[in-house]
């Protein structure tokens, strides 16, 4: 059944309910996510402990680090500037600190250094007396830098999770070289495997691996699910992360995704105003005064990032033409915000979008896709100066003089592309199914995330008994069926008796009384 921009699904969930002894809301959520039996069992019966990882390369890397400890070598950590890379750098530093190994680290500047280990960084490490480099969340394709290190007599342990398609003559710790349950690890998840072998379980490392796993949008099954569950349970042990979160009783993966990850990422997005390296010190800090002080600075940076990206998005929207693939170029756009803007436009227009800005003699861009369109495959046969990414997000650069031909080629290629099934799926739920018993069982399925999406519910059989305006701008409906619905979208505040509502279900607690609540994202 189709309505507006939604594909409304009314599953027959009886077989799933009977097989797994779950309520209809839970069963429909499993069907919505197209889960297999092993995935459902991992959700219903989560593991309490990490899996044993005996990868030969992992053991080899740990042996080399122990050798550095024994010989009192200086070890250098080469990081990356996104949330995953920052957390991976911090996990590795915390581990080496616990082992009392003299160490240093560097997270490259997005604008000045570019991504990953470079010959320049290797040479600086050599000058400062480092004999061992450990890359985290990068390095698998740093061929030039690895060759430079070999020439200078520096050993490199590469720990990474990006596409591994060419052998390198180094110790490589990578999910592809591990057993099946570890295949989906992020960079910090890989670093955690080394940390656990060297120093055992560590609360700070566990929390940081959780943040990175969510931040890098990894599938929440197998070891990733355990990492996220354990990390969420240990949040009280990591004040630098906890102070970035809202004050609420139960913190979910969504809270991490919306309140922590953007704040870590923003520090590397603002050219000349911040440095991602300071976050490593912050994340290992246990002085509450210093933590609060830096957290306020991070909050201010994030607010500035929001303002800049919103202005860029508004400017970009003004340039949109009626094309199947939106391409926007603006020399005044900040390179660090291009992906954010492309994502907003793709979501708003329901079309793939590429946003570019001028950097010297190049146009650098970030693209974001929509459901049903593989952007990485679309661009892989283009002749570009640089290119990388995956189905839903890419980064690329091209020479300025090639831009007109590039845009023409995109438009020509799109003529042969048919994007189907782009409507967002929502689950039809009947109002009599919304009660505390059913909702608590549904919320116990946490963590939701990549591979196990928290569904949007569609409700159209409700009856409104009372409407009022919270804080003079947010509509709150009390419904005859015994639950409430709140709409935080001020654009919809004139709808007093909606025909349908689409949103997330949650439990609101006020003065020790719990109520089922639909957080309305859309209604008509």
Confirm whether 149 is domain-assigned.
yes
Here the CATH number for the domain that contains residue 479 is 2.40.50.460
Confirm whether 282 is domain-assigned.
no
Average pLDDT along the chain? 94
Q: What is the pLDDT of residues 117-172, one digit of tens each?
A: 999 999 999 999 999 999 999 999 999 999 999 999 999 999 999 988 788 999 99
**pLDDT band at residue 441 using 50, 70 and 90 as cut-offs:** very high
Q: What is the pLDDT of residues 187-213, one digit of tens each?
A: 999 999 999 999 999 999 999 999 999
The whole-number pLDDT of residue 509 equals: 84
Here the CATH number for the domain that contains residue 173 is 3.90.1640.30
CA 195 to centroid of chain Cα atoms: 22
Confirm whether 29 is domain-assigned.
yes
Tell me if 376 sits within 8 A of 394, measured CB to CB: yes
**pLDDT band at residue 111 using 50, 70 and 90 as cut-offs:** confident
Query: Rounded mean pLDDT of 287-295?
Result: 97
The whole-number pLDDT of residue 390 equals: 78
Query: Rounded mean pLDDT of 446-472?
Result: 93
The answer on 354 and 216 residing in a single domain is no
Domain boundary among 414, 437, 453: 414
Confirm whether 316 is domain-assigned.
no
Pairwise CA distance, residues 298 & 400, whole Å: 35
The answer on 86 and 6 residing in a single domain is no
Q: Which residue has the tokens 């309520």?
A: 23
Q: What is the pLDDT of residues 229-269, one digit of tens each?
A: 999 999 999 999 999 999 888 899 999 999 999 999 999 88
Residue 294 has pLDDT above 60, yes or no: yes
Q: What is the pLDDT of residues 302-357, one digit of tens each?
A: 999 999 999 999 999 999 988 999 999 999 999 989 999 999 999 889 899 999 99
Residue 421 has pLDDT above 90, yes or no: no
Confirm whether 307 is domain-assigned.
no
Give strand pairing partners of 449.
452
**Buried/exposed code over 336-352 (b: 16+ C-beta within 10 A; e: otherwise):** bbbbbbbbbbbeeeebb
pTM across the whole model: 0.92
Domain boundary among 379, 414, 449: 414
User: What is the total count of domains within the chain?
Assistant: 3
The answer on 64 and 170 residing in a single domain is yes
The whole-number pLDDT of residue 281 equals: 97
Q: Which tokens is 5 given?
A: 């921009």
Query: Rounded mean pLDDT of 463-480?
Result: 89
For 68, the domain range is 56-266
Rounded to the nearest 10 degrees, how much is the dihedral formed by the CA atoms of 425, 250, 432, 428?
Answer: 0
**pLDDT band at residue 494 using 50, 70 and 90 as cut-offs:** confident
The whole-number pLDDT of residue 166 equals: 86
> Of all residues in the chain, what percent carry a pLDDT higher than 90?
84
Q: Three-state SS for 207?
A: helix
Tell me if 6 sits within 8 A of 503, measured CB to CB: no
The answer on 244 and 217 residing in a single domain is yes
Residue 272 has pLDDT above 80, yes or no: no
* Cis omega (within 30 of 0) for bond into 427: no
Residue 490 has pLDDT above 80, yes or no: no
Confirm whether 218 is domain-assigned.
yes
HSE (side-chain half, CA atoms, 13 Å) at 156:
34
Domain boundary among 361, 395, 414: 414
Query: Rounded mean pLDDT of 260-287?
Result: 92
The answer on 342 and 218 residing in a single domain is no
Q: What is the pLDDT of residues 381-405, one digit of tens each?
A: 999 999 887 788 999 999 999 999 9
The answer on 142 and 19 residing in a single domain is no
The answer on 154 and 65 residing in a single domain is yes
Confirm whether 51 is domain-assigned.
no
The answer on 41 and 127 residing in a single domain is no
Confirm whether 317 is domain-assigned.
no
The whole-number pLDDT of residue 96 equals: 98
The answer on 207 and 123 residing in a single domain is yes
Here the CATH number for the domain that contains residue 358 is 3.10.310.30
**pLDDT band at residue 4 using 50, 70 and 90 as cut-offs:** low
The answer on 390 and 482 residing in a single domain is no
Residue 3 has pLDDT above 70, yes or no: no
The answer on 114 and 39 residing in a single domain is no
The answer on 242 and 157 residing in a single domain is yes
Could you give phi then psi for residue 411, rounded to 5 degrees? -65, -40
């Amino acid at each position: 059944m189709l309505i507006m921009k939604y594909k409304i699904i009314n599953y027959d969930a009886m077989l799933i309910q009977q097989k797994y002894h779950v309520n209809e809301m839970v069963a429909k959520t499993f069907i919505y996510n197209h889960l297999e039996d092993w995935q459902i069992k991992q959700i219903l019966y989560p593991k309490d402990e990490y899996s044993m990882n005996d990868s030969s390369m992992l053991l080899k890397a740990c042996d080399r680090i122990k050798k550095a400890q024994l010989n009192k070598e200086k070890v250098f950590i080469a990081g990356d500037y996104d949330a995953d890379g920052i957390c991976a750098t911090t996990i590795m530093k915390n581990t080496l600190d616990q082992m009392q190994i003299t160490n240093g680290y560097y997270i490259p500047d997005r604008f000045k250094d570019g991504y990953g280990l470079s010959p320049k960084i290797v040479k600086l490490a050599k000058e400062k007396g480092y004999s061992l480099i450990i890359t985290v969340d990068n390095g698998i394709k740093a061929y030039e830098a690895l060759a430079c290190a070999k020439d200078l007599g520096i050993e490199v342990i590469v720990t990474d999770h990006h596409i591994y398609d060419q052998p390198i003559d180094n110790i490589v710790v990578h999910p592809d070289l591990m057993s099946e349950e570890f295949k989906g690890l992020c960079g910090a998840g890989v670093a955690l495997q080394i940390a656990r072998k060297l120093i055992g379980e560590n609360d700070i490392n566990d929390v940081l691996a959780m943040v990175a796993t969510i931040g890098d949008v990894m599938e929440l099954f197998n070891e990733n699910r355990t990492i996220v569950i354990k990390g969420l349970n240990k949040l009280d042990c990591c004040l630098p992360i906890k102070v970035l979160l809202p004050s609420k009783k139960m913190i979910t993966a969504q809270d991490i995704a919306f309140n922590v990850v953007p704040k870590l990422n923003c520090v590397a997005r603002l050219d000349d105003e911040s440095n991602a390296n300071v976050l490593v010190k912050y994340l290992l800090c246990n002085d509450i005064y210093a933590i609060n002080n830096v957290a306020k600075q991070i909050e201010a940076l994030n607010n500035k990032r929001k303002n800049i990206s919103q202005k860029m998005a508004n400017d970009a929207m003004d340039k949109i033409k009626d094309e199947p693939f939106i391409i926007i170029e603006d020399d005044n756009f900040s390179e660090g915000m291009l992906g954010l803007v492309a994502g907003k436009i793709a979501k708003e227009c329901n079309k793939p979008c590429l946003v570019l800005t001028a950097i010297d003699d190049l146009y650098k861009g970030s693209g974001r896709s929509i459901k049903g369109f593989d952007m990485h495959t679309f661009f892989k046969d283009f002749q570009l100066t640089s290119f990388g990414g995956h189905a839903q997000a890419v980064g690329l650069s091209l020479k300025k003089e090639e831009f007109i031909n590039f845009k023409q080629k995109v438009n020509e290629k799109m003529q042969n592309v048919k994007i189907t099934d782009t409507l967002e799926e929502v689950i039809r739920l009947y109002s009599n199914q919304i009660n505390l018993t059913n909702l608590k069982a549904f919320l116990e399925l946490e963590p939701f995330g990549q591979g196990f999406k928290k569904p949007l519910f569609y409700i159209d059989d409700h009856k409104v008994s009372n409407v009022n305006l919270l804080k003079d701008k947010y509509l709150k409906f009390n419904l005859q069926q015994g639950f409430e619905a709140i709409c935080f979208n001020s654009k919809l505040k004139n709808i007093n008796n909606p025909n349908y509502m689409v949103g997330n279900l949650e439990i609101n607690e006020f003065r020790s009384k719990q109520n089922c609540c639909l957080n309305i994202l859309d209604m008509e």
